[in-house]
Amino acid sequence: MSESIIAADERSPRPQRLDRVALLRHARRLAAAPAGPWLHAEVAQRMAERLAIIKLQPQRWLQWSAFLGAGGEALAQVYKGAEQLWVEPTPELLERSATAAKRGWLQRLKGAPKVDVSAPDGVAPGQAQLVWANMTLHAHADLPGLLAQWQAALAVNGFVMFSCLGPDSFVELRPLFAARGWGRIAPDWWDMHDIGDLVVGAGFADPVMDQERIMLTWGEPEALLKDLRALGGNVAPDRFPGLRGRGWRRELLAALEGLRGADGRLRLSLEVVYGHAFKAAPKLKVQPETHVSLDQMREMVRQASQ
């Protein structure tokens, strides 16, 4: 399912509500994991396959939340020789990526480009032709602010490519939790159309959104819970507020047995939303007297000659 987003004035996007403290806590926990989340690496490969439709060949690409996004290897294969910048939103993730970048000295001796690592506030404007953000948006409390950061980091005619969980993820768990009064199992994440509206509102051009549904299966409930924990955690503000005990865990494991399909395996579905958009040249407002800087004039002449 694909569609181009034309206008953003027909709907009024509702913000996803996330617990900021829980977001930071889960980010710190994941930063200490041996590797990034297993699902993120799979989605990164699927996203990389979509790069074939983009003609632009970035000389410098920026990966937002690089460690958790797990897309560096896939991007390096597609854009060999391009410079890299890894951006990390928390000090723990920044330290993890900085350590990984230092370990790449052998690759640099072989001619591989240097990898720079930065916090979001250290990203210079207009320095990348691609901003890549795999499985990031659903774990960010201020999506308009994040899109504004991406817009600023991109050079004119550069593009952003992103993915995130959609609102229909883990739908099988909703009735299970609701029937037992266990609170929400996940936040109300932005849907595909609302994200497209926000992308347009952030000043991007020609956005295209699509979605994919992935069915995951497990043999046992314990394995399901282990894999879900590896993805992060429940950051819905209205999740169950108290501590869970061993009795609740036993009840949960028994309830998860109800997710078994005809093949005998536990089944849980995910909705993955994909999108990409371009940064268009800024438009000058026509006034009785218009001031144009020399840099703006050069950019307009360059655009007109292409």
Tell me the per-residue pLDDT of 25-68, one tens digit each, with 9 for 90 and over: 999 999 999 889 999 999 999 999 999 999 999 999 999 999 99
Q: Is residue 47 part of a domain?
A: yes
N-to-C CA span, the chain: 33
Q: Is residue 13 part of a domain?
A: yes
What is the CA 301 to chain-centroid distance, rounded? 35
Alpha-carbon distance of 87 to 285, in angstroms, equals 33
Alpha-carbon distance of 87 to 203, in angstroms, equals 21
Which residues contact residue 137 at a Cβ distance below 8 angstroms, ignoring those fewer than 6 apart?
Answer: 143, 146, 162, 163, 164, 190, 195, 273
Give the chain's mean pLDDT: 87
Q: Is residue 62 part of a domain?
A: yes
pLDDT at 235: 92
> How confident is the model over 259-268, as a mean pLDDT?
96
pTM: 0.84
pLDDT in tens, 79-133: 998 999 999 999 999 999 999 888 765 565 555 678 899 999 999 999 999 999 9
**Which domain, by its residues, includes 153?**
2-166+188-215+272-305
Which residues contact residue 25 at a Cβ distance below 8 angstroms, ignoring those fewer than 6 apart?
Answer: 233
Q: Is residue 75 part of a domain?
A: yes
Q: Is residue 248 part of a domain?
A: no
pLDDT at 107: 60
pLDDT at 217: 97
Least confident of 29-33, 50-54, 241-245, 268-272: 241-245
Local structure of 266: helix, strand or coil: strand
Which residues contact residue 129 at a Cβ distance below 8 angstroms, ignoring those fewer than 6 apart?
Answer: 56, 58, 59, 60, 61, 154, 155, 157, 158, 159
Q: Is residue 253 part of a domain?
A: no
Least confident of 6-10, 107-111, 245-249, 262-266: 6-10
Alpha-carbon distance of 234 to 173, in angstroms, equals 12
Alpha-carbon distance of 31 to 196, in angstroms, equals 29
The residue count for the chain: 306
Say if residue 292's pLDDT is above 80. no
Q: Is residue 154 part of a domain?
A: yes
Q: Is residue 201 part of a domain?
A: yes
CA angle at 187 for the pair 185 and 188, rounded to the nearest 5° = 120
106 phi-psi bin (left φ>0, alpha ψ -120 to 50, beta other):
alpha
For the chain, the domain total comes to 1
DSSP for residue 111: T
> How confident is the model over 246-275, as a mean pLDDT?
95
pLDDT at 6: 30
201 against 2, higher pLDDT: 201
pLDDT at 289: 66
Q: What is the CATH number of the domain that holds 293?
A: 3.40.50.150
pLDDT at 302: 61
